[in-house]
Structure 1
Amino acid sequence: MESSSARTSENSLGDCGNTAQVQKGIYHERQTRHLCGLHALNNLFQGPEMFKKSELDDYCTTLTPRNWLNPHRSWIGWGNYDVNVIMYALQQKNCEAVWFDRRRDPHCLNLNAIFGFILNVPAQMSLGYYIPLPFQMRHWLALRRIDEKYYNLDSKLREPRCLGSEEEFIQFLGSQLQMEHELILVLSEEKDSTEKSEQRWLLPQFRD
């Protein structure tokens, strides 16, 4: 598994400040095989081997007790984990996963209540680098706020990409949702039991 504490060039930082200060300590795993689900989880929780491939494979058989042709992963054992595995993994870290309705305006999100985000986007398959295949797979990537700025921690990127402030991040989410990408909100375990738990990810004025 490849990983890097990426160093971003000054030009790619936008308004994110000094290169060394912003990038110091940001953990970023790079893509290997079809293990984007594993990389997205480790990038989300910002640590090497927060999850291991063997653990995600075990989750597959926990969800459906068979190793051969398990529906939650690639039959050749290269990953390609489905949403059930991602959600089960999040539960192991005492986190709740909430599907966000892409028809909604992301300005309704209570960003302070959300630990991070996992985005699921289509990925064109190809033979080598040049011959596209007539089908698509899905790709998982993590988004997180780190030191008051939001970052795209996609394992296909050479390095973390700063998305900027809250408003810039909301605009980014809006553009992704317009492309019919799927968004999962990751909420950490509740500390304030008085808050309306099922909708704490929404700003108060948008709750039912």
Structure 2
Amino acid sequence: MEFIYHEKQDGSLCGLHCLNNLLQGHYYTAVDLAEIAQQMDQEEQTRMAESGIHTDDFRRFMEQPSSNMDDSGMFSVQVLTSALKIWDLNLVPYASSNPIAVAARNNPTEQAAYICNFGEHWLTVRRMGYQWFNLNSLLTSPELISDTFLSLFLTQLQHEGYSIFVVTGVLPVCKADEVLRMEPAVQTVKPKLLSEVKEDDDIRTALAVSLAKAESSSTSTSSKESKLAATKASSEEEELEAAIRLSLGTDSDGPVEKNEGDVKEPDLEDLRKKRLAFLEKRQ
């Protein structure tokens, strides 16, 4: 799937990656989006000034940081919406009563694309050819999503707190769309999240440190106890990796397609605490 355009995470520029992955090309830079955000800030300032520049409301407004961007490169939905309007594309809230949103909830595969936001992270889900792909910039490569799993995937994102928007309008023609119409993609290797790769590295490092400490204290620790400790560490590592896969809705070979009644809301906070506790315990 090397012909699919897929920008990977760079700092906090997921909003930028989300747009370019949606449009399937390097159409925007961080400077472009920053200019849009600054223009929106100036327009908001002008509207506030109409009531007087010496009012408490105007003073408080000027003291607040920009709501359209921050120093890390995070952009608001208003900035992304403005950038998409240049392409005659619009965003419709997936959970709204808008007829387009209702149709999308009834049959998600009838739409062209979705962009999703949670806190400070944006990601794109788009159809190319006759297939759907998760173009999350945190993934090491695009993830193929079956038509059956798409509805469950969007439901899972909603349970995790994501705001989902239906992309309406005609997306730019892209090479991937043309290629995939002739030859559908096959997901041979399940892509991993970049954060998951880092977690794996942290786990390996922590285990190495733990084993080194065990060896240095071998005079006071029996061989049997060392083996038991190593077995426990391995078991905990497997348990942690299983929890990560579960939170992502995947197994070792690819997405786990569950019945709608089986979908459970993953507790990401518990997973984070468990990972941190595991690493601290291993040091």
Specify the alignment match of 2:128 in structure 1. 146
Aligned mates of 2:107, 2:73 — CA distance in 1:
31
Kindly indicate which of the two structures has a greater share of residues assigned to strand: 1
Give the C-alpha shift of residue 33 in structure 1.
Answer: 1.2
**1:29 match: secondary structure:** coil
Partner of 1:40: 18
Would the aligned equivalents of 1:143 and 1:152 in 2 still touch at CA under 8 Å? Answer: yes
1:168 equivalent to 2:166? Answer: no
Using CA pairs under 8 Å that are at least 6 residues apart, name the structure with larger relative contact order, 1 or 2: 1
The alignment of Structure 1 onto Structure 2 pairs a total of residues equal to 148
| In structure 1, distance between residues paired with 2:103 and 2:155 | 7
Larger radius of gyration: 2
Q: Which residue is 1:201 aligned to?
A: none
SS at 1:79's partner residue?
coil
Q: Deviations over 1:17-44 (max 9, x none)?
A: xxxxxx1410000111111000000000
**For 1:132-183, what per-residue CA distance to the aligned partner results, in whole angstroms no more than 9, with x for missing partners?**
xxxxxx200011011211111011111111112x222112112222223110
Q: Give the structure 1 partner of residue 73 of structure 2.
A: 79
Q: How does 1:20-169 map to 2 (within 5 A)?
A: 23-48=1-26, 50-65=27-42, 69-74=65-70, 76=71, 78-101=72-95, 107-109=105-107, 111-112=109-110, 114-122=111-119, 138-164=120-146, 166-169=147-150
Write 1 or 2 for the structure with the bigger share of helix. Answer: 2
Conserved 8 A contact 1:98-1:184: yes
CA separation of 1:119 and 1:151: change in aligned 2, threshold 3 A = same
Q: CA 1:187/1:98 → structure 2, altered by over 3 Å: closer, same or farther?
A: same
Matched-pair contact (CA < 8 Å) for 2:21–2:135: yes
> Residue 172 of structure 1 aligns to which amino acid in structure 2?
F
Give unmatched runs, 5+ long, in structure 2.
46-63, 172-283
Structure 2 CA distance for aligned equivalents of residues 88 and 141 of structure 1: 17
How far the C-alpha of 1:111 sits from its partner, in A, is 3.6
**TM-score, normalised relative to structure 2:** 0.48
Residue type at the aligned position of 1:187: T
Gaps of 5+ in 1: 1-22, 123-137, 191-208
Identity of aligned residues (%): 26
Kept after mapping to 2: 8 A contact 1:106/1:170:
no
| Superposition deviation, residue 106 in structure 1 | 5.5
List 4+ stretches of structure 1 deviating above 2 A.
68-71, 102-107, 109-112
Q: Which position in structure 2 is the counterpart of 1:193?
A: none
CA distance in 2 between counterparts of 1:116 and 1:106 reads 10
Call closer, same or farther: CA 1:24–1:189 in 2, change over 3 Å.
closer
